[in-house]
């Protein structure tokens, strides 16, 4: 179902800058209504992303914010017509909020991944099957094309991600955490919450009795007939890999106000590049530093596309911070660099936007001992979007979905 584009389709995501993200947002806004709802599930291929925003990597790093996406959709189409688009924006918010309530699920994934990576070293047959999958040499045409597309571009359509994950688990019989790690290392919009929990959902570990089975006919129809699969090529069933045993939810921490009497170091990172609207009024800034979470994602190397996008997005955020605040951000180059950067700036307080549960959160938590020893306090803000939506994310998505109108009114985005 390949419909004419309202703008020139591109094989690439917009450049990793706020300016490019805003340009894409303006171009895609006319599509955010009923057309998006009708065509969003179709993977038209890497040369045509006209039916999806292709802004997930920008939103992942908040070069463009969720509030900006939703405001554009509401202004152009209204809540009813833009409902599906707004729900899709809120799905990522739901995943993040759910994991904020249950950080132990992320820790369990990391522990299990270490075991699975260790098994690759001990089991030659598993290692061979894994290598065939991540290099696109399984013999399944669609899967091999998607593996190559992911490595080359750092992006897959959401429907292709579901098919890929299902085939990985049920047809190829590979450990799900290794697939989640492959995605998280290569996706330019790789997000710990949506990635980990979506893979868990595929194999029945998130919602009891719910799994996802990739079917040949579904792939053929929704890939614009690019892949003509035979049913016998794919697994015929998708049994749950276990029963969901979720820990009790823990309320996420709220942000805090910096002490205006303390000289402060601004910490810019790759999870929130919209530095211009950080609440810095009255903060005594003495310097700035920047950091990314790439080194904490996995013991395996990040993909080239993901690394390039992350580094360029962080550079863009730092450049805008310099223009806005007149402060140059120096990169942190070693594990103890945060306390050292604060001392060098004469700062006794670090101010930043709180990273979500995931690799960067892990890195920042590991810095606390050094910061305490240096007498440096860490103050983390929390965006209003998260503070309003995350309390609705401790259970299933339906509760958050039902709260969308109320939450948007609370945020001042809708009357």
Q: pLDDT at position 6, please?
A: 33
* Residue 5: pLDDT over 90: no
* Residue 1: pLDDT over 60: no
Confidence of residue 225 (pLDDT cuts 50, 70, 90): confident
* Residue 382: pLDDT over 50: yes
| Superfamily classification of domain 263-381 | HUPs (3.40.50.620)
How far apart (Å, rounded) are the C-alpha atoms in residues 99 and 105? 7
How far apart (Å, rounded) are the C-alpha atoms in residues 98 and 155? 24
Fold of 105-233: DNA Cyclobutane Dipyrimidine Photolyase, subunit A; domain 3 (1.10.579)
Buried b (16+ CB within 10 A) or exposed e, 216-232: beebbebbeeebebeee
Location of each CATH 3.40.50.620 domain in the chain: 263-381
> What percent of the chain has a predicted confidence (pLDDT) above 90?
90
How far apart (Å, rounded) are the C-alpha atoms in residues 67 and 46? 27
State the DSSP string of 70-83: HHHHHHHHHHHHTH
- Give the up-direction half-sphere exposure of residue 403: CA atoms within 13 A in the CB hemisphere: 21
Q: pLDDT at position 7, please?
A: 35
Q: Based on the number of CB atoms within 10 Å of its own CB, is 246 exposed (0-12), middle (13-18) or buried (19 or more)?
A: middle
pLDDT digits (tens, 9 = 90+) for 9-20: 344 679 999 999
Residue 356 DSSP class: P
Residue 168 DSSP class: I
Contact 167, 214 (CB under 8 A): yes
pLDDT digits (tens, 9 = 90+) for 101-131: 999 999 999 999 999 999 999 999 999 999 9
Q: pLDDT at position 335, please?
A: 53
How far apart (Å, rounded) are the C-alpha atoms in residues 197 and 182? 14
The DSSP H or E segment spanning 352 is strand 349-353
Residue range 53-79: mean pLDDT, rounded = 98
Q: pLDDT at position 101, please?
A: 97
Confidence of residue 8 (pLDDT cuts 50, 70, 90): very low
pLDDT digits (tens, 9 = 90+) for 358-373: 999 999 999 999 999 9
pLDDT digits (tens, 9 = 90+) for 277-286: 999 999 999 9
How far apart (Å, rounded) are the C-alpha atoms in residues 292 and 307? 10
> What percent of the chain has a predicted confidence (pLDDT) above 70?
96
Q: pLDDT at position 82, please?
A: 98
Q: pLDDT at position 50, please?
A: 92
How far apart (Å, rounded) are the C-alpha atoms in residues 161 and 143? 10
Buried b (16+ CB within 10 A) or exposed e, 305-342: bbbebbeebbbbbbebbeeebebebeebeeeebbbebb
Torsions phi, psi for 285 (to 5 deg) = -80, 130
How far apart (Å, rounded) are the C-alpha atoms in residues 165 and 171? 10
pLDDT digits (tens, 9 = 90+) for 317-360: 999 999 999 999 989 865 568 999 999 999 999 999 999 999 99
pTM of the model: 0.95
Mean pLDDT, all residues of the chain: 93
Contact 211, 240 (CB under 8 A): yes
Contact 161, 195 (CB under 8 A): no
How far apart (Å, rounded) are the C-alpha atoms in residues 197 and 271? 18
């Amino acid at each position: 179902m390949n419909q004419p584009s309202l703008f020139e389709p591109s094989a690439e995501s917009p450049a990793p800058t706020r300016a490019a993200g805003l340009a894409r947002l303006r171009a895609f806004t006319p599509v955010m209504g009923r057309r998006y709802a009708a065509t969003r599930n179709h993977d038209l291929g890497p040369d045509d992303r006209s039916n999806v925003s292709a802004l997930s990597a920008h939103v992942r790093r908040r070069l463009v914010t969720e509030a900006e996406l939703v405001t554009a959709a509401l202004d152009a189409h209204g809540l009813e017509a833009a409902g599906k688009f707004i729900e899709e924006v809120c799905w990522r918010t739901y995943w993040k909020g759910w994991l904020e309530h249950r950080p132990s699920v992320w820790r369990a994934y990391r522990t299990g991944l270490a075991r699975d990576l260790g098994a690759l070293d001990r089991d030659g047959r598993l290692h061979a099957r894994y290598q065939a999958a991540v290099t696109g040499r399984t013999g399944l045409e669609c899967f091999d094309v998607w593996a190559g597309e992911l490595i080359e571009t750092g992006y897959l359509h959401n429907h292709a991600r579901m098919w890929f994950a299902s085939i990985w688990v049920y047809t190829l019989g590979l450990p799900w955490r290794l697939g989640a790690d492959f995605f998280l290392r290569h996706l330019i919009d790789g997000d710990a919450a949506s990635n980990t929990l979506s893979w868990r959902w595929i194999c029945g570990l998130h919602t009891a009795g719910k799994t996802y089975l990739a079917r040949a006919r579904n792939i053929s129809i929704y890939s614009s007939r690019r892949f003509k699969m035979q049913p016998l090529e794919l697994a015929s069933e998708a049994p749950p890999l276990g029963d969901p045993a979720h820990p009790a939810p823990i309320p996420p921490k709220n942000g805090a106000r910096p002490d205006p009497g303390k000289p402060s170091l601004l910490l810019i990172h790759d999870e929130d590049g919209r530095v211009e609207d950080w609440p810095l009024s009255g903060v005594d800034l003495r310097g700035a530093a920047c950091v990314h979470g790439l080194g904490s994602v996995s013991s395996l190397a990040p993909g080239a596309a993901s690394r390039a996008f992350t580094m360029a997005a962080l550079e863009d955020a730092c450049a805008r911070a310099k223009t806005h605040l007149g402060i140059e951000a120096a990169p942190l180059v070693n594990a103890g660099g945060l306390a050292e950067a604060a001392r060098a700036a004469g700062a006794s307080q670090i101010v930043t936007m709180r990273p979500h549960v995931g690799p960067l959160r892990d890195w920042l938590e590991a810095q606390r001992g050094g910061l305490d020893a240096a007498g440096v306090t860490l103050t983390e803000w929390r965006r209003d979007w998260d503070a309003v939506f995350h309390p609705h994310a401790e259970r299933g998505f339906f509760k958050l979905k039902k709260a969308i109108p109320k939450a948007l009114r609370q945020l001042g985005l809708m009357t």
